[in-house]
Amino acid sequence: MNYKKIIFNKSREVSLDKFISKALYDKKNGYYMKKTPLGKKGDFITAPLISNLFSEMIAIWCVSFWENIGQPKKINFVELGPGDGSLCEAILKTFKKFPKFNDCCEILLYEISDNLKRIQNKKLKNKKIKWLRNINNIKTGPTIFFGNEFFDSLPIKQFIVLEEKVFERYVLLNEKNDLKYIYKKAKKKYLDQLLNFEVPIKKNVIEFPVETIKYLKIISKKINKYDGALLIFDYGYNNDSSGESLQSVRKHRYTDIFSKVGNSDISSHVNFKLISNFLKKKNLIVEKIVNQNRFLYKMGIVDRANIISKNLNFKDKADLYYRLKRLLDEKSMGSLFKVLLAKKKYNKFSTGFN
């Protein structure tokens, strides 16, 4: 990417969140806008691409949720950042096995990248699916908002404490045309936000998910008004640990953030504690955050694998259990990935979390 022109067209420095936003989502040159990041040939792989069993568990969870809230005549399933459409393809198949639910469910995809929208369209070829320009456009409910590895891809701000003063991290294009971090005194509104969100002001790097908060504000409003839930899966932490978590990945390997701007993914670990506190302040009930493996075990993923494996030859059986292990193993995705459920007040549904 000619990041010099695109990111720094007016000044030689931008805040970190603006830098990430341009690097990933610049209309023409952003990473997600021109590349197909997922899969073996791409840069990284996600749970829905590892095994359809993951998506099946999400589909069954949605049907159970719908039953629990009294089988409303209409329910929206909104997938935030559907990637290459793998999850949606698999859940459509499972939803069909529950015709009553299937008739009531409207599937809406929320995707920023036209390139990925094309890929999703090609894969899904399904009249039932619509793309949502803005999640604010949801005018009826209830709605299940679902996101797998959506929030980790949203731009963050970073702050650092030096001699008891808080500074914000910016990216500078220096005279030699190299990218460097610089620090500017943090604006009061951001300091207030950190305090408001109870983010501990520590000496190491403090991360603040500015974009995530914008989405959570809209989602919590919709759930409070129309009923529904937010179910998210992502890698992250559920304590005050924070610290530097910004990372860049290309061809399944970590790279330097500045080495392939626009051609490598940039993401950060999700602060589940902050998200949970925010949603509670918005009057939603947040279930105790669990690890991905616990949720999937509770949803019966192993039983389902055992049933499917009965009809498989040895090679396919081995592949099925190898993939299952990747989803569940502590050393793989099992505990690094966390699951959060937020729902409307008085809703007691806790399948997968109890």
- 111-134: buried (b, 16+ CB within 10 Å) or exposed (e) per residue? bebebbeebbeeebeeeebeebee
Instruction: Identify the burial level of 259 via C-beta atoms within 10 angstroms of its C-beta, where 0-12 means exposed, 13-18 middle and 19 or more buried.
Output: exposed
Q: Is 209 in the site for ligand SAM (CB under 6 A)?
A: no
How many residues lie near ligand SAM (CB under 6 A)?
Answer: 18
d(CA 34, CA 22): 13
Q: Is 38 in the site for ligand SAM (CB under 6 A)?
A: yes
**Most distant CA pair in the chain: distance in Å?**
65
Residue 35: count other Cβ atoms within 10 Å of its Cβ. 18
Q: For residues 226-255, which are near ligand SAM according to CB under 6 A? A: none
d(CA 164, CA 157): 19
CB contact at 8 A, 39 and 23: no
Q: How far is the CB of 32 from ligand SAM (least distance, A)?
A: 4
Q: Which helix (H) or strand (E) holds 76?
A: strand 75-80
35 vs 344 by CB, closer to ligand SAM: 35
- 176-197: buried (b, 16+ CB within 10 Å) or exposed (e) per residue? eeebeeebeebeeebeebbeeb
110 vs 170 by CB, closer to ligand SAM: 110
Q: How far is the CB of 155 from ligand SAM (least distance, A)?
A: 9
108 vs 341 by CB, closer to ligand SAM: 108
Q: Is 116 in the site for ligand SAM (CB under 6 A)?
A: yes
Q: Which of 15, 29, 46, 248 binds ligand SAM (CB under 6 A)?
A: 46
d(CA 230, CA 219): 8
Residue closest to 70 by CA, chosen among 100, 44, 40, 91: 100
Q: How far is the CB of 344 from ligand SAM (least distance, A)?
A: 24
Sign of CA dihedral 172, 179, 271, 133: positive
Q: Is 52 in the site for ligand SAM (CB under 6 A)?
A: no
104 vs 249 by CB, closer to ligand SAM: 249
**Alpha-carbon dihedral angle through residues 280, 283, 289, 294, given to the nearest 10 degrees:** 180
220 vs 292 by CB, closer to ligand SAM: 292
Residue nearest to ligand SAM (CB): 81
CB contact at 8 A, 152 and 11: no
Contact letters (x/-) for ligand SAM, 130-149, by CB under 6 A? ------------------xx
Q: How far is the CB of 255 from ligand SAM (least distance, A)?
A: 16
148 vs 292 by CB, closer to ligand SAM: 148
Contact letters (x/-) for ligand SAM, 71-110, by CB under 6 A? ----------xxx--------------------------x
237 vs 337 by CB, closer to ligand SAM: 337
Alpha-carbon distances of 197 from 160, 201, 275, rounded to whole Å: 16, 11, 9
Q: How far is the CB of 151 from ligand SAM (least distance, A)?
A: 9
51 vs 220 by CB, closer to ligand SAM: 51
DSSP letter, residue 69: T
Q: Is 113 in the site for ligand SAM (CB under 6 A)?
A: yes
Residues found near ligand SAM in the complex (CB under 6 A): 32, 38, 46, 48-49, 81-83, 110-113, 116, 148-150, 153-154
